[in-house]
Structure 1
Amino acid sequence: MVLKGARQVGKTWLMKEFGKSCYSSYVYFNLDEEEELKSIFETNKNPHRILELLSLIVGKKILPGETLIIFDEIQECPEALNTLKYFKEKANDYHVIAAGSLLGTLFARPKSYPVGMVNLLDIYPLTFDEFLDAMDPVLYVYYQSIKKGQQIEEIFHNRLLEAYNNYLIIGGMPECVASWVKYKDPARISQIQKELIEIYENDFSKHNGKVNSGRILMVFRSIVAQLAKPNEKFIYGAVREGARAREFEEAIEWLVSAGMLNRVYNVAKIEHPLSAFDKLEQFKLFVFDTGLLKHMAGVDNAAILLKSEYPFKGPLTENYVLQQLRGQFPVEPRYFSDKYREIDFVIQHGTEIIAAEVKGGEDKSAPSFKKYVADHKPEYALRFSKRGYRKDGYITNIPLYLARKTKELL
């Protein structure tokens, strides 16, 4: 199995925890820290010989099915990644798990990935429900019990909205969540977020391969300005005046492959199958963690906690909803925009296509969305907002804290 995901989302912890709880023992090899390990993979293709050498290094016998073999930061040694296919073919009784922080960028290159030989798992920051489980286990039990059409009592609605506001500030990066649980200190959260962004920006120059690292950095740093524009669509000229698509396409591809940015395409029609109508040159880019976006935008905590309206509220809320929707439906969400109207998200659920409007507060005005619903009378139409969970005609209002339960509530 190979875990891929941005740096610091908890891959190493997960692999070790899996080794502790499901195996007699585990052996851990970090291919970034232990340079000399690379030579083992570079000079040997036979997995039994590799296991012999690894056993000598850790000083204990590696047993098939009993010892979990962990290769961390495997992107540092493409030969090790390639060896996984030999493990599958010639030593399949040994259990191997690997992880890397920029594997998506490596997989994008030909010949670097053992196709069909590994199970791939994407690891993301904590979603709102996981965050709630860490913060307030009792409230989480209530959250889990919420069913389709259920009345949510005001006391719980208010407590869940408070948890949602906290999530916008803290986000889902494990270190931020753990710090808040332990210290309840916003200054610490802000410092961790600042350091994480510095780590990511340093990574751009370290791991970029053939892609110009300066351009990767320029795209990444332009995201707040891109989302702050009235239509949020990515415009190359906002990265650098006069910039053209061909100069920055590779940088965008790199950031999306690395799991740092989520790309949402505009569709020409709100019809099934969505991907057939992608306008590949029109898209929005969101940050993979809402807490990090909030920090990058410099939104003050007091604005989120105390004000009903503040600049950047719309993009931050959309970023949050997208983060919760990811992985719920087999097809990634899209958006719809033409000269006359815009719909925040378009979701494919089986053969049904669902229009979704995102509101950061209790406001209900959304002319494009309402007109679409009035014209098409769809089976489902969703509004994510701070209002309670209820159905108004064709529109179902889903409180923002229930975005992660969207599929369950349909």
Structure 2
Amino acid sequence: MLKRKAYDRLLEWKKNRNGKTALLIEGARRVGKSTLVEEFGRNEYASCLIVDFFQAPAEVRQYFEDYRTDFDTLFLYLSTYYGVDLHERDTLIVFDEVQMFPTARGLLKYLVADGRYDYIETGSLLSIKQNVDGIVVPSEEESFELNPLDFEEFLWGMGEEKLVTLIRRQFDSLKPLPDGLHRRAMGLLREYILVGGMPGPVSIYVAQRRFEPVDTAKRQILSLYRNDVARFARGYEFKVVSVLDGIPGQLSKHEKKFTLSSISKNARMRSYEEAFFWLADARIANICFACSDPGVGLSLNMTQSSLKCYLADTGLLVSLAFADNAHTDESVYRAVLRGEIGLNEGMLTENVVAQMIHANGHRLFFYSQSGKREGEERMEVDFLIVRPYADAAMKPRVCPVEVKSPRQYGTKSLDRFKEKFGKRVGTQYVLHPKQLKVDGDRAYLPLYMGFCL
């Protein structure tokens, strides 16, 4: 199994909660939830019983209905059906794809109180109305989100643990890597952009170092997502698909705010809000909202009517951009890797930085000023994050982040942002293909250091 940071999170939950809560792992389909939990159960418990509600027969579901107040019989039947011995305080019971059977999720309050075993749920689309109808979400449930492999995890899979350690050390000291290692890290980042972080495609690439089978695997995932749209987004599936298919085109523009008029001249945000929510809840897309008055509490000034929509996995974005053809040849991927085919660099680099920032637990925000009002200058800052600022005794400050893919670029928006918001602003970050350098309170970081922010 590929090494995942989330495994340590599971160990921490097991040690600190000791059965007092159930753990819910949310994430997109095929992001590796089931594999992670199965590995954890096998390694850390005497036994692990997995109930996959995508495949569980009616008989198993009926056990939860008939014996909801008789846990002795429920556990006996589950143990017998799955052929797994249950050990008090040393068995993990997994409700896989729990959104397919909300009754089991509603029962967890009482299963946790019973105290015999530990419980982990996995699922996606858990906020969709049809998946919470008729149940009270248990307060004994804590959750976290499993994302695609970030760049650091990808490097682990590629056997580059020492390079990861060096990148983090150089980021902490704000010193550049030697030129040869910088080029190597940039090359690996380009591979990561094309492969993405979905565990299946990554495993194929680690084993074969070929893009064509990776592309096939990514297209299968995109097909699965489309099937989920048809199944779960009933009544507004056309809007969801329109937004999904429109992401590459929207991100190819200079100004990457999602413009609904490109879908339909009569489209309005209020009628498409549900589509964006669905894609975000399915963890297929990362939504980045405008912040009208940046401060430490970015959410307080969030403007939901103005947003950017990134695909949650950049490798899937590449395959979506190539969707006009039934498959993409190895030679095409190699040409993109070498920079010989003009696949929009800005689209890919901004999407991968959004993926990195989201994986680090930041909500995504940007700042935009049209410059159309009198005395107002135009500015567009790609991302806003909050980080401790050394010049303010490590108190949190707003840190603007600009993503630059070309070799030559300007930073007027950062200059104007600092001038306008003054002491609210901390370190300004420019993520670019070049080496690291520091100029006052502005840090120019190579793109591969985005996972450190």
TM-score (norm 1): 0.92
Residues in 1 aligned to 2:300 and 2:286: alpha-carbon distance in whole angstroms: 19
What is the SS of the residue equivalent to 2:57?
Answer: coil
Q: Given that residues 102 and 131 in structure 2 are in contact (C-alpha distance below 8 angstroms), is that contact kept between their aligned partners in structure 1?
A: no
Say which of 175, 180, 183 aligns to 1:150: 175
Say which of 347, 365, 369 aligns to 1:338: 369
After superposition, the Cα gap between the structure-2 partners of 1:394 and 1:257, relative to the gap in structure 1 and judged at 3 Å, is same
Alpha-carbon deviation of 1:290?
0.5
Gaps of 5+ in 1: none
Residues in 1 aligned to 2:289 and 2:359: alpha-carbon distance in whole angstroms: 16
2:147 paired with 1:124: yes
Alpha-carbon deviation of 1:129?
0.3
Alignment of 1:310-325 (within 5 A): 310-325=342-357
What is the SS of the residue equivalent to 2:306?
Answer: strand
Alignment of 1:389-400 (within 5 A): 389-400=436-447
Say which of 65, 87, 95 aligns to 1:42: 65
Residues in 2 aligned to 1:128 and 1:241: alpha-carbon distance in whole angstroms: 38
The one-letter code of the counterpart of 1:125 is P
What is the SS of the residue equivalent to 1:98?
Answer: strand
After superposition, the Cα gap between the structure-2 partners of 1:115 and 1:69, relative to the gap in structure 1 and judged at 3 Å, is closer
Alpha-carbon deviation of 1:269?
1.6
Residues in 2 aligned to 1:60 and 1:198: alpha-carbon distance in whole angstroms: 34
Aligned to 2:54: 32
After superposition, the Cα gap between the structure-2 partners of 1:119 and 1:106, relative to the gap in structure 1 and judged at 3 Å, is farther
Say which of 194, 215, 221 aligns to 2:245: 221
Say which of 76, 89, 92 aligns to 1:52: 76
After superposition, the Cα gap between the structure-2 partners of 1:150 and 1:282, relative to the gap in structure 1 and judged at 3 Å, is same
What is the SS of the residue equivalent to 2:308?
Answer: strand
Residues in 2 aligned to 1:77 and 1:142: alpha-carbon distance in whole angstroms: 46
After superposition, the Cα gap between the structure-2 partners of 1:273 and 1:281, relative to the gap in structure 1 and judged at 3 Å, is same
Q: Which whole-Å deviations, capped at 9, do the CAs of 1:164-196 have from their partners, x for residues lacking one?
A: 010110010111111011111111111111111
Alpha-carbon deviation of 1:222?
1.5
What is the SS of the residue equivalent to 2:128?
Answer: helix
Alignment of 1:293-372 (within 5 A): 293-298=317-322, 300-302=332-334, 304-307=336-339, 310-329=342-361, 331-339=362-370, 340-349=378-387, 351-372=396-417
Segment of structure 1 superposing worse, 98-107 or 274-283: 98-107
2:115 paired with 1:92: yes
2:268 paired with 1:230: no
What is the SS of the residue equivalent to 1:119?
Answer: strand
Gaps of 5+ in 2: 1-22, 324-331, 371-377, 389-395
Alignment of 1:117-266 (within 5 A): 117-137=140-160, 138-146=162-170, 147-208=172-233, 211-266=235-290
The one-letter code of the counterpart of 1:238 is S
The one-letter code of the counterpart of 2:352 is Y
What is the SS of the residue equivalent to 2:184?
Answer: helix
The one-letter code of the counterpart of 1:101 is S
After superposition, the Cα gap between the structure-2 partners of 1:384 and 1:108, relative to the gap in structure 1 and judged at 3 Å, is farther
What is the SS of the residue equivalent to 1:326?
Answer: helix
Q: Given that residues 99 and 123 in structure 2 are in contact (C-alpha distance below 8 angstroms), is that contact kept between their aligned partners in structure 1?
A: yes
Residues in 1 aligned to 2:83 and 2:426: alpha-carbon distance in whole angstroms: 62
Alpha-carbon deviation of 1:298?
2.3
Q: Given that residues 211 and 251 in structure 1 are in contact (C-alpha distance below 8 angstroms), is that contact kept between their aligned partners in structure 2?
A: no
Segment of structure 1 superposing worse, 146-155 or 349-358: 146-155
